Amino acid sequence: MQSTETIPTPPSRCVIVIDAALAPGRAANAAAVIALTVGARHPGLVGEPLVDAAGFAHPGLIPIGIAVLSAGQDELNALRARALDAGCDVVDFPVQGQQTTNYAAFRDVVATVAPEELRYVGLALVGEKKPIGKIVANLGLLK
């Protein structure tokens, strides 16, 4: 079982993998929800503010980049399992999140699903570069 606390050490790689069958709006929603959760769990991933020539500070962005890849929904479960086995932090977004209208309903529905039955619209793999690279080596960019 994964911890819900923030992770103090900044990882060296972060990728988001989205269900290739999602419509563009749903894919964007999934990536945004996952990225926000990654930022909350890994505050060290956010870089220093970017200061422009006029001295205006823009919010810091992630300095390691985030590849947004795609995979079939069945592949997402296998990727999740491999990433957990490799010691990665995994932020997963169950399909029920796009089938419910509020977080309480989402939480309640997920609570009724056995872990092996969960399906995902997307997930993030966060951790060390080499293991994540091996896990996602055959995936293409989200189109």
State whether residue 139 is helix, strand or coil: coil
Q: What angle do CA 1, 142, 49 make, to 5 degrees?
A: 75
**CA gap 67, 58 in Å, rounded:** 22
- Work out the pLDDT band at 4, boundaries 50, 70, 90: low
Predicted confidence (pLDDT) per residue in 95-121, tens digit = 999 999 999 999 999 999 999 999 999
Complete domains list, the chain, with CATH: 13-141 (3.40.1490.10)
Question: What is the rounded (10 degree) CA torsion for 71, 77, 79, 80?
Answer: 130
Side chain identity at 5, as an amino acid letter?
E
**CA gap 68, 61 in Å, rounded:** 16
CB neighbour list of residue 119: distance below 8 Å, 6 or more residues apart: 73, 76, 77, 94, 95
Q: Determine how many CB atoms are found less than 10 A away from the CB of residue 105.
A: 13
Question: CA–CA distance from 142 to each of 66, 82, 102 (Å)?
Answer: 12, 20, 27
Q: What is the mean pLDDT of the chain?
A: 93
What is this structure's pTM?
Answer: 0.89
Predicted confidence (pLDDT) per residue in 132-143, tens digit = 999 999 999 999
pLDDT confidence of residue 107: 96
Assess whether pLDDT exceeds 70 at residue 2.
no
